[in-house]
Structures are given as structure tokens and as C-alpha cells.
Amino acid sequence: MTQIDVPTTTPVEVRRPSLDGPFIKEDTEARTFRVHRSALRSPEVFALEQERIWGRTWLYLGHESEIPNPNDFVVRTLGGRPLIFCRDADGGVRVYYNSCPHRGTTLCRETEGNNRFFRCFYHAWTFNTSGELVSLPGADGYPDGDDFRERLTLRTVAKVESLRGFVFVNFDPDAGPLADHLGNAADYIELVADHNATGMEVIPGTQRYKVWGNWKLAVENAMDGYHFTPTHITFVDYLKRTGYTTSDEGGKNQRLDNGHSVLLLTGHSGRAGMQWEPRFGEAERIRIEENRVELEERLGVERAARVADVSRILYVFPNLILFDIEALSIRRLEPTAADRTEVDAWELAPLGEPEEARALRNRVLVSFIGPGGLATPDDIEAYEAIQRGIVATAGDQRLGHDWNDISRGMVDDDKPGPGRSIDEGGIRHFWRKWNDAISERES
Ligand code: FES
Ligand SMILES: [Fe+2]
């Protein structure tokens, strides 16, 4: 038998983490940052996340424009909990658990619509959009009086708040206000809301897909400018062929409060309604010029420049990614298992946009960040390839084997300003927040 030499590996202290961690191993002197791969594949970690992150943190639910009229509703699942997001008859925004107060049946079985009542199919208890039990068959079997009906209203989630139409919920009754959670990420949401004087709307329809990968891989990917040119080479070549050169030069990653962060990209490519490039055509050039005048009058020159000239990818911990690049897209992550994530994406657009501009916006969106575009399938391939790859080292206790390296550009972590978008500072920032959230001990 011939002995084959196995090369020695990176000399870092490694121990397989228990559920108490540590899942991240950071050495500020050596400028290394490693994440244990079990964080991306362990069902126990997934269960802990459901409790400590999805059960306690503000979560993006939807945009108010998705339910514009009284009695409009959509159903959504957040943190594994089915919800009804609706307007009551007076136009107020309501969020209910989609669970009949009688014996728990999923109450609303359509995905969206307009209806004054939700009628449970099992025993036909019927509720209005204010959550009141308005009728039930065989009411004589229950005590007289209103008490009974009052106790059996639709169950609401603990907290609902919105910022400029973006609605968030929190399942924890003791949670602090949304503003505290968003911190300085709120300004970046407002920059998107500022695109248009009369407001923004979600274009009807959801782009929905399932990924065989852990949700945190989608977060890493969104904050990872390093992969853009190698992974999206087809898109980069296409831009070059159509007369536009994209560049990673000058791109920044700004770490924000509470694990949120934003990529700020100046050399990315054209932006519908904001930054012209040849593939947009002449009519769009004129519209963009007019739009700039309106933006500067409304917001001032400086804020107008922030809105119009800088492409941004904003990550709001834990489940929202807001793309303000070639076009606007709201992407929401819903983990369903350690290795599975459901992604919903909605296109956001200015209310009252002319038909021709809207058509161009749609084309631009689907060409890159749409689910069949020149970016998203590449990115999904990356998440799934990682998920397949990281099982290779599972259980290997040798030094460094079962850890991912996220050290790129760590020298910038000490500096107050933004780092380079092609470094991994935003990814480390996310992981530190994730580690804090997951490590929190029960009180
Ligand atoms: S479970 Fe809904 S009416 Fe009985
Ligand atoms: Fe990508």
C-alpha cells in the first residue's frame, strides 16, 4: 500500500460547535473570519432560528399597495406561520393569523382577492375583514350573549408597523418599535419611496421560486460584490456588446445598524427612470431628464442625486432585500428547512408611470434580476452549489476543514466609513448579527 500524503490545513483552532456555538470564529489580529458550515445545514440551527430570529425580529410582510382597496387581501407565510394581510372595510391595514379561531383550520385558502368575509370551509364560521365572527351555523349550541363572539375574533399578530408603505410584523409582544430595529436602514427604504412624488406601487403578480439552499446564502450573495463579474459574466458581456460598460470600481458596502447593510454601486449600469444608457432608447432619455428636474425640485439637489445616481442593494435583517438597481425589486426570504428557501419577489414602480416607461422597466427588470434573468439563475446556482458542497466536510474535525472563509477586506472593518463592495464586510456584519441573535440564551 502506498501512503498518500494529505497536506496539512489552515492552523486555526476548530471545534465542532454545539448549539451554543461558536459558529463564527473571528481573529482580528490575523484578519480572519470563519463561519462553521453547520450554520448552513443543521436542522437544529434552523429550529433555533425560527424561534430566536423569526419569532422575535421585525419581518418584512408586504407593501400596502398590494391591498389598495377595502377588503383586499393576500395570504403570506412568515416564519412558517400562515397569515392574512388585508384591509378592513374602512381601509385599515390588518394582519391576522390565517387560522380559524374555532379549531385551527387554514381560514383563507385563496392566495389573494377581495372579499368582505372569510368563511371557514370546515364548520362555516364566517368573519369579516375586521376580524369579527359574524355568523356560525347552529349558534344555539353556544351561550347567549356577545362574550362568546368577542372571544373568538380572528387572531392578530403581536405587532404591525409600516414605513412609507413597507409593512413589517413582529410575533413578539415585547418587541421594541420598528424604528429601533431599522435604525439607519430606514433612510435607504425612504430613498426608494422617494423615487416618485405620488408614491410607489407593487406591480400585481409575485415572482416565486424555491431554492435548495440555506436562506443565509441568499443574504451573503446579495452583499457580495466580489462574485459579480465572474458569476454574471454572460450579463457583463451582454452589457459590453450593447455599448455599456459596467465596472466594480468605486462600489461600496455600508454597514448599517442591527446587521443591515447596503451595497452602493455607481458603475453598475442604467437604471429605469433614473440613469440612461443606450439600450433604453431616446424616449426614455427625455423622460429621465424631466424626472431629474422634478426630483431636484422636490428633494433638493443632494438627495435627488442619491436617489437617481447610486444603485443600491439594501439588506434588512433578516428577510428583506431591496434592489434599487436597473429596476426596483422587493425580495423576501422565507426559510422552510435548513437547506430550503422560498423566495418571493415583487416589482416596485412609480405610481402613474406612463405605459411605455412601465414596459421598459419591466423588460429591464426581467433581463437581470427577474427569476429568469441574466443574474438570478446564476446566483441560485451558486447557493445550490454551496449547499451541495458544504456537506462534503460535515463531521470532519481536522483543523479548518468544516469552516467557510469570509475574511476578504477585513482590514476595513476597523474603519468607520464604508468598505469596498467587492470585499466581504457586509457579509461579516450579517454573520455577527446572526450569531448574536442565535446565541441569545433564554431568560
Ligand atoms: S375550524 Fe373553522 S369553523 Fe370549525
Ligand atoms: Fe449575483
Nearest ligand to the CA of 378 is 2
pLDDT at 127 (0 to 100): 98
Distance between CA atoms of residues 426 and 418, nearest Å: 9
Calculate how far, in angstroms, residue 79's C-alpha sits from the geometric centre of ligand 1: 23
Q: Ligand 1: which of 102, 117, 126 to mutate, judged by most atoms within 8 Å of the beta carbon?
A: 102
Distance between CA atoms of residues 428 and 414, nearest Å: 12
Q: What share of the chain is helix, strand, coil (3-state, %, to 5)?
A: 35, 25, 40
Calculate how far, in angstroms, residue 46's C-alpha sits from the geometric centre of ligand 2: 24
Alpha-helical regions (H) of 174-300: 178-182, 186-193, 215-222, 228-231, 233-241, 282-299
Q: Ligand 1: which of 96, 122, 126, 136 to mutate, judged by most atoms within 8 Å of the beta carbon?
A: 122
Calculate how far, in angstroms, residue 377's C-alpha sits from the geometric centre of ligand 2: 9
pLDDT at 120 (0 to 100): 98
**pTM attached to this predicted model:** 0.94
Backbone angles phi, psi at 49, to 5 degrees: -60, -40
Query: Does ligand 1 have an atom closer than 6 angstroms to the CB of 148?
Result: no
Distance between CA atoms of residues 45 and 268, nearest Å: 36
Residue nearest to atom 1 of ligand 1 (CA): 103
Burial zone of 173 (CB within 10 Å; 0-12 exposed, 13-18 middle, 19+ buried)? exposed
Give the position, in ligand 1's atom list, of the atom nearest the Cα of 123. 3
Distance between CA atoms of residues 428 and 255, nearest Å: 10
Distance between CA atoms of residues 89 and 74, nearest Å: 15
Calculate how far, in angstroms, residue 122's C-alpha sits from the geometric centre of ligand 1: 5
Give the position, in ligand 1's atom list, of the atom nearest the Cα of 107. 2
Query: Does ligand 1 have an atom closer than 6 angstroms to the CB of 100?
Result: yes
pLDDT at 284 (0 to 100): 94
For residue 317, the tally of other CB atoms under 10 A from its CB is 24
Query: Does ligand 1 have an atom closer than 6 angstroms to the CB of 125?
Result: yes
pLDDT at 244 (0 to 100): 67
Alpha-helical regions (H) of 130-281: 147-151, 178-182, 186-193, 215-222, 228-231, 233-241
Distance between CA atoms of residues 441 and 207, nearest Å: 37
Query: Does ligand 1 have an atom closer than 6 angstroms to the CB of 127?
Result: no
Nearest ligand to the CA of 323 is 2
If you search the block for the grid coordinates 414596459, which residue do you land on? 359
Domains and CATH numbers, the chain: 59-163 (2.102.10.10), 183-439 (3.90.380.10)
Nearest ligand to the CA of 123 is 1
Query: Does ligand 1 have an atom closer than 6 angstroms to the CB of 120?
Result: yes
pLDDT at 235 (0 to 100): 81
Calculate how far, in angstroms, residue 270's C-alpha sits from the geometric centre of ligand 2: 17
Using DSSP's 3-state secondary structure scheme, residue 229 falls into helix
Q: pLDDT 10s digit of each residue in the chain, 443 long? A: 777 776 555 444 445 567 666 899 999 999 999 999 999 999 999 999 999 999 999 999 999 999 999 999 999 999 999 999 999 999 999 999 999 999 999 999 999 999 999 999 999 999 999 999 999 998 888 887 778 788 899 999 999 999 999 999 999 999 999 999 999 999 999 999 999 999 999 999 999 999 999 999 999 999 999 998 899 888 888 877 876 666 667 899 999 999 999 999 876 668 999 999 888 999 999 999 999 999 999 999 999 999 999 999 999 999 999 999 999 999 999 999 999 999 999 999 999 999 999 999 999 999 888 888 888 999 999 999 999 999 999 988 888 899 999 999 998 888 878 999 999 999 999 999 999 999 865 43
3-state secondary structure 55-86: CCCCEEEEEHHHCCCCCEEEEEEECCEEEEEE
Using DSSP's 3-state secondary structure scheme, residue 91 falls into coil
Distance between CA atoms of residues 323 and 328, nearest Å: 5
User: Is 335:346 a contact under the CB 8 Å cutoff?
Assistant: no
pLDDT at 442 (0 to 100): 46
pLDDT at 14 (0 to 100): 46
Distance between CA atoms of residues 124 and 82, nearest Å: 19
Q: Which three cell numbers stand for residue 101?
A: 379561531
Query: Does ligand 1 have an atom closer than 6 angstroms to the CB of 119?
Result: no
